[in-house]
């Protein structure tokens, strides 16, 4: 499949001119919209010119900039907690099956509305929570839509979309959650079985637009498109030079981000949990890591097998494990980004078990969210023996909308082939 990114052009709001920024040479450019309005938003519309590569690598890469956003205070919705965030309208890509579709922000006033959905008890971000958001002003509905599950280097897993707004003012957002359908285990078992609702408000005005545009940080031009990833917002809260780009691979012992706080509005630092799963050596059981000739892409820096630039932790847990069903071992498969350890949710995976060139198992893996191990895919497997070949096949890549730096990765994923090692 041809996955070359098409260079898009966007409009240049006056706020970007006030920030002293211009579109980098050869990148998207445009004109300021000088149109006025009675609401005090004269000359501020559209979206900033976002640096975009014409031919990015088919892997995780550094985009041309770091985003800027306003983080609101967390609110509760039944057992759910959510941290809302607002920024300028973003370009992003929707993934359907093995194809992606570019979403270009409409010229005009609006925000990119994002919500990180998490559990206060464990701090775990909850993949599979796909709420509906209704935006209103002065009691009149402006927009209502299901938010896209999204994957971002800086924010990890979240839900969001671009929302057009007619004018400056204070807006209310009603968020409605259905029951969580993904299997929950450990401290999450039996929870999130009921729907819930929550409401938060935000102010959209010229000051907001100027602040989020002035906060855009361009990376050095020579770094655009390099293999790597921007550090999460929760990590940047403790750094001042942005030197950690791509440094947190699966072999690191960095914390999982569950207790970190991000940039706040004013003197506060609202909670922004990050969807980082544990490093490979934190999983119990027997690790399956030895390649037996499959067509995977080499290995990650810590020896993890990879495919489509995703790293895979594959472990066989003893029948006594709390994840196992009955008396059979449990196969745990944790695909994650090669940097920052973000789980790749909304994919479809199968396990094929072979012995002496004979297939003995072919079953789909079930998505799971666990309070300790986070998001993974798994199932109990019977009659698994030493030297058996275990093939993890990706039937469909992560069906998650992508921010820049992820849109070309995690496609064309060949099976990951491993063996069960000797005891």
Does residue 184 sit in helix, strand or coil?
A: strand
DSSP type of residue 205:
S
Per-residue model confidence (pLDDT) at position 290: 62
Whether 127 and 375 have beta carbons less than 8 Å apart is answered as yes
Q: What is the 3-state secondary structure (H, E, C) of 118-160?
A: EECCCCCECCCCCCEEEEEECCEEEEEEECEEEEECCCEEEEE
Q: Rounded to 5 degrees, what are φ and ψ at 344?
A: -100, 95
Q: How many CB atoms lie within 10 A of CB 145?
A: 12
Cα–Cα distance, 114 to 43 (Å, whole number): 25
Instruction: Provide CB contacts within 8 A for 318, sequence distance 6+.
Output: 284, 285, 324, 329
Distance between the two ends of the chain, CA-based, in angstroms? 42
> What 3-state class would DSSP assign to 176?
strand
pLDDT in tens, the chain (423 residues): 333 332 232 333 333 332 333 333 333 333 333 333 444 444 444 467 788 898 999 999 999 999 999 999 999 999 999 999 999 999 999 999 999 999 999 888 999 999 999 999 999 999 988 899 999 999 999 999 999 999 999 999 999 999 999 999 999 999 999 999 999 999 999 999 999 999 999 999 999 999 999 999 999 999 999 999 999 988 765 443 333 344 444 434 334 433 333 333 444 567 789 999 999 999 999 999 765 454 444 455 468 999 999 999 999 999 999 998 888 999 999 999 999 999 999 999 999 999 998 999 999 999 999 999 999 999 999 989 999 999 999 999 999 999 999 999 999 999 999 999 987
d(CA 160, CA 84) in angstroms, rounded, equals: 9
What is the per-residue pLDDT for 250? 42
Q: Are 229 and 322 in contact (CB under 8 A)?
A: no
Contact status, residue 134 vs residue 143, Cβ threshold 8 Å: yes
Q: What tens digit of pLDDT does each residue of 220-251 get?
A: 999 999 999 999 988 765 443 333 344 444 43
- Contact in structure between 262 and 269 (CB atoms under 8 Å): yes
Report pLDDT for 302: 66
393-408 pLDDT, tens digit each: 999 999 999 999 999 9
Q: φ and ψ at 412, to 5 degrees?
A: 55, 45
> Rounded to 10 degrees, what is the CA torsion of 18, 24, 28, 34?
20
Helices and strands (DSSP H and E) totals, the chain: 3, 26
What residues contact 329, with CB distance under 8 A and at least 6 apart? 285, 316, 317, 318, 319, 321, 380, 381, 384
What is the number of other CB atoms lying within 10 angstroms of the CB of residue 284?
16
DSSP string over 238-284: T-SS-TTTT---TT-----STT-B---STT---B----PPPPGGGS-
* Contacts by 189-197, CB closer than 8 A, 24 or more apart: 191/79, 191/119, 192/79, 192/80, 192/119, 192/126, 192/129, 194/78, 194/79, 195/78, 196/77, 196/78, 196/79, 196/80, 197/77, 197/78
Output the six-digit token pair for 5: 């990114």
Which DSSP symbol is given to 406?
T
- C-alpha 336/C-alpha 343 separation (Å) is 4
Distance CA 206, CA 46 (A): 13
């Amino acid at each position: 499949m041809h996955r070359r990114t098409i260079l898009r052009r966007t409009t240049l709001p006056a706020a970007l001119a006030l920030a002293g920024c211009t579109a980098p040479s050869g990148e998207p450019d445009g004109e300021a919209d000088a149109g006025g309005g009675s609401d005090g938003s004269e000359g501020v519309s559209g979206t900033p010119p976002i640096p975009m590569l014409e031919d990015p690598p088919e892997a995780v890469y550094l985009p041309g900039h770091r985003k800027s956003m306003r983080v609101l205070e967390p609110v509760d919705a039944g057992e759910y907690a959510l941290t809302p965030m607002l920024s300028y309208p973003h370009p992003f890509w929707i993934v359907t099956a093995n194809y992606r579709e570019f979403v270009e922000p409409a010229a005009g006033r609006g925000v990119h509305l994002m919500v990180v959905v998490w559990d206060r008890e464990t701090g775990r971000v909850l993949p599979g929570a796909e709420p509906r958001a209704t935006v209103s002003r002065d009691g009149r509905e402006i927009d209502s839509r299901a938010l896209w599950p999204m994957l971002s280097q800086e924010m990890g897993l979240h839900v969001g979309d671009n929302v057009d707004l007619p004018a400056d003012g204070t807006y209310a957002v009603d968020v409605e959650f259905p029951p969580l359908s993904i299997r929950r285990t450990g401290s999450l078992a039996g929870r999130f079985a009921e729907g819930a609702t929550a409401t938060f408000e935000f102010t959209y005005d010229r000051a907001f637009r100027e602040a989020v545009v002035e906060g855009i940080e361009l990376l050095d031009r020579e770094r655009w498109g390099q293999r790597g990833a921007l550090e999460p917002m929760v990590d940047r809260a403790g750094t001042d030079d942005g030197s950690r780009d791509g440094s947190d691979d699966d072999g690191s012992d960095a914390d999982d981000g569950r207790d970190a706080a991000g940039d706040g509005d004013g003197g506060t630092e609202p909670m922004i949990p990050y969807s980082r799963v544990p490093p490979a050596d934190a999983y119990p059981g027997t690790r399956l890591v030895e390649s037996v000739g499959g067509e995977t892409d080499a290995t990650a820096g810590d020896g993890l097998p990879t495919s489509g630039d995703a790293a895979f932790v594959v472990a066989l847990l003893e029948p006594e494990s709390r994840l196992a069903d009955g008396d059979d071992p449990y196969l745990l498969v944790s695909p994650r980004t090669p940097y920052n350890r973000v789980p790749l949710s909304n994919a479809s995976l199968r396990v094929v078990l072979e012995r002496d060139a004979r297939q003995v198992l072919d079953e789909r893996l079930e998505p799971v969210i666990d309070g300790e191990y986070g998001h993974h895919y798994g199932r109990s497997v019977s009659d698994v023996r030493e030297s058996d070949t275990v093939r993890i096949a990706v039937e469909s890549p992560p069906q998650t909308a992508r921010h820049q730096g992820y849109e070309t990765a995690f496609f064309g994923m060949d099976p990951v082939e491993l063996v069960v090692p000797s005891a």
